[in-house]
A = this chain, B = another copy of it.
Protein backbone atom coordinates (compact mmCIF):
# COMPACT_ATOMS: atom_id res chain seq x y z
CA UNK A 1 0.00 0.00 0.00
CA UNK A 2 2.97 2.16 -0.32
CA UNK A 3 3.84 4.03 -3.42
CA UNK A 4 4.41 0.87 -5.38
CA UNK A 5 1.83 -1.29 -3.75
CA UNK A 6 4.25 -4.15 -3.34
CA UNK A 7 4.46 -6.37 -0.39
CA UNK A 8 7.69 -7.82 0.86
CA UNK A 9 9.48 -4.81 -0.36
CA UNK A 10 13.08 -4.95 0.52
CA UNK A 11 14.78 -1.69 1.34
CA UNK A 12 16.49 0.27 -1.37
CA UNK A 13 19.73 -0.34 0.43
CA UNK A 14 19.36 -4.09 0.06
CA UNK A 15 18.47 -3.58 -3.54
CA UNK A 16 21.61 -1.57 -4.09
CA UNK A 17 23.55 -4.25 -2.27
CA UNK A 18 22.60 -6.81 -4.88
CA UNK A 19 23.49 -4.44 -7.70
CA UNK A 20 26.81 -3.67 -6.09
CA UNK A 21 27.65 -7.29 -5.46
CA UNK A 22 26.65 -8.29 -8.95
CA UNK A 23 29.10 -5.73 -10.23
CA UNK A 24 31.82 -7.04 -7.97
CA UNK A 25 31.13 -10.59 -9.01
CA UNK A 26 32.28 -9.69 -12.49
CA UNK A 27 35.78 -9.31 -11.15
CA UNK A 28 35.56 -11.68 -8.28
CA UNK A 29 39.20 -11.72 -7.32
CA UNK A 30 40.05 -8.07 -7.71
CA UNK A 31 39.83 -5.45 -5.04
CA UNK A 32 37.48 -2.64 -5.93
CA UNK A 33 37.09 0.57 -4.00
CA UNK A 34 33.69 1.95 -3.13
CA UNK A 35 34.33 4.87 -5.45
CA UNK A 36 35.00 2.64 -8.43
CA UNK A 37 31.99 0.51 -7.76
CA UNK A 38 29.87 3.60 -7.49
CA UNK A 39 31.07 4.78 -10.84
CA UNK A 40 30.53 1.46 -12.51
CA UNK A 41 27.08 0.86 -11.11
CA UNK A 42 25.69 4.36 -11.18
CA UNK A 43 24.76 4.21 -7.53
CA UNK A 44 25.91 7.22 -5.55
CA UNK A 45 29.19 6.82 -3.75
CA UNK A 46 27.99 7.49 -0.20
CA UNK A 47 25.33 4.88 -0.69
CA UNK A 48 27.74 2.34 -2.09
CA UNK A 49 30.05 3.00 0.82
CA UNK A 50 27.26 2.49 3.30
CA UNK A 51 26.19 -0.72 1.69
CA UNK A 52 29.70 -2.10 1.58
CA UNK A 53 30.31 -1.29 5.21
CA UNK A 54 27.27 -3.32 6.15
CA UNK A 55 28.19 -6.18 3.86
CA UNK A 56 31.70 -6.16 5.23
CA UNK A 57 30.53 -6.27 8.81
CA UNK A 58 28.39 -9.27 8.01
CA UNK A 59 31.15 -11.04 6.18
CA UNK A 60 29.61 -11.02 2.73
CA UNK A 61 32.57 -9.08 1.41
CA UNK A 62 36.11 -8.73 2.64
CA UNK A 63 37.66 -5.32 3.02
CA UNK A 64 41.20 -4.10 2.73
CA UNK A 65 41.99 -0.72 4.17
CA UNK A 66 44.49 1.83 3.06
CA UNK A 67 45.72 3.06 -0.27
CA UNK A 68 44.99 0.57 -2.98
CA UNK A 69 42.51 -1.13 -0.74
CA UNK A 70 38.90 -1.93 -1.43
CA UNK A 71 36.45 -4.79 -1.28
CA UNK A 72 36.11 -8.23 -2.76
CA UNK A 73 33.55 -10.98 -2.44
CA UNK A 74 34.12 -13.42 0.38
CA UNK A 75 33.13 -16.31 -1.85
CA UNK A 76 32.08 -17.04 -5.43
CA UNK A 77 28.83 -15.56 -6.63
CA UNK A 78 27.22 -18.95 -6.89
CA UNK A 79 27.79 -19.55 -3.21
CA UNK A 80 26.22 -16.35 -1.98
CA UNK A 81 22.47 -16.61 -1.50
CA UNK A 82 20.49 -13.52 -2.27
CA UNK A 83 18.74 -13.97 1.01
CA UNK A 84 22.08 -13.70 2.79
CA UNK A 85 22.69 -10.38 1.13
CA UNK A 86 19.33 -9.07 2.17
CA UNK A 87 19.78 -10.33 5.69
CA UNK A 88 23.18 -8.71 5.89
CA UNK A 89 21.56 -5.38 5.17
CA UNK A 90 18.25 -5.70 6.93
CA UNK A 91 18.71 -8.30 9.60
CA UNK A 92 17.19 -11.73 10.05
CA UNK A 93 14.16 -12.80 8.09
CA UNK A 94 10.83 -12.78 9.81
CA UNK A 95 7.42 -11.89 8.59
CA UNK A 96 6.36 -10.33 11.81
CA UNK A 97 7.94 -9.20 15.03
CA UNK A 98 5.85 -11.92 16.59
CA UNK A 99 8.49 -14.61 16.56
CA UNK A 100 9.83 -16.90 19.17
CA UNK A 101 11.17 -15.06 22.12
CA UNK A 102 10.91 -11.54 20.85
CA UNK A 103 8.59 -8.79 21.89
CA UNK A 104 7.32 -9.38 25.40
CA UNK A 105 4.62 -6.74 25.43
CA UNK A 106 2.10 -7.74 22.83
CA UNK A 107 -1.15 -5.99 23.58
CA UNK A 108 -3.09 -8.95 22.36
CA UNK A 109 -1.11 -10.94 24.83
CA UNK A 110 -1.80 -14.58 25.46
CA UNK A 111 -5.08 -14.27 23.65
CA UNK A 112 -3.57 -13.72 20.25
CA UNK A 113 -4.95 -16.47 18.09
CA UNK A 114 -2.02 -16.78 15.78
CA UNK A 115 0.85 -16.43 18.20
CA UNK A 116 3.83 -18.46 17.15
CA UNK A 117 2.26 -19.53 13.90
CA UNK A 118 4.32 -17.24 11.74
CA UNK A 119 7.34 -19.40 12.31
CA UNK A 120 6.07 -21.82 9.71
CA UNK A 121 5.75 -19.06 7.19
CA UNK A 122 9.17 -17.74 7.92
CA UNK A 123 10.73 -21.15 7.55
CA UNK A 124 9.07 -21.54 4.17
CA UNK A 125 10.42 -18.17 3.15
CA UNK A 126 13.96 -18.97 4.12
CA UNK A 127 13.79 -22.27 2.40
CA UNK A 128 12.50 -20.81 -0.83
CA UNK A 129 14.93 -17.96 -0.93
CA UNK A 130 17.97 -19.86 0.28
CA UNK A 131 18.43 -21.51 -3.08
CA UNK A 132 18.65 -18.35 -5.14
CA UNK A 133 22.22 -17.25 -5.56
CA UNK A 134 23.83 -14.00 -6.47
CA UNK A 135 25.03 -15.67 -9.66
CA UNK A 136 21.40 -16.18 -10.63
CA UNK A 137 20.83 -12.46 -10.43
CA UNK A 138 23.49 -11.59 -12.96
CA UNK A 139 22.74 -11.20 -16.57
CA UNK A 140 24.90 -12.97 -19.14
CA UNK A 141 27.27 -10.04 -19.57
CA UNK A 142 25.89 -7.10 -21.43
CA UNK A 143 28.48 -5.02 -23.18
CA UNK A 144 28.32 -1.28 -23.27
CA UNK A 145 26.75 -1.23 -19.89
CA UNK A 146 28.39 -0.26 -16.67
CA UNK A 147 31.77 -1.30 -17.87
CA UNK A 148 33.17 2.11 -18.55
CA UNK A 149 36.92 1.88 -18.33
CA UNK A 150 38.13 0.98 -14.92
CA UNK A 151 40.00 4.15 -14.14
CA UNK A 152 41.22 5.00 -10.70
CA UNK A 153 40.45 8.66 -10.87
CA UNK A 154 42.15 10.81 -8.32
CA UNK A 155 39.93 13.64 -9.33
CA UNK A 156 37.89 13.12 -6.22
CA UNK A 157 34.26 13.60 -5.61
CA UNK A 158 34.07 17.12 -6.87
CA UNK A 159 31.80 15.86 -9.57
CA UNK A 160 29.03 15.77 -7.06
CA UNK A 161 26.97 12.87 -5.90
CA UNK A 162 24.46 11.85 -8.45
CA UNK A 163 21.22 11.01 -6.80
CA UNK A 164 20.20 7.45 -7.01
Contact = CB atoms under 8 A, between A and B. Distances in A.
Tell me the interface secondary structure of chain A in the complex: loop
A66 interface: no
Interface stretch (A28-36, A67-75, A88-96): A88-96
Q: Contact residue range for chain A? A: 35 or more
A154 B99 CA distance: 11
B97 A6 contact: yes
Contacts of A119: 152
A159 B5 contact: no
A149 B152 CA distance: 55
A97 B41 contact: no
Contact of A114 (B1, B2, B22, B99): B22
A11 B1 contact: yes
Given A152-B100, A164-B107, A91 B128 contact: no
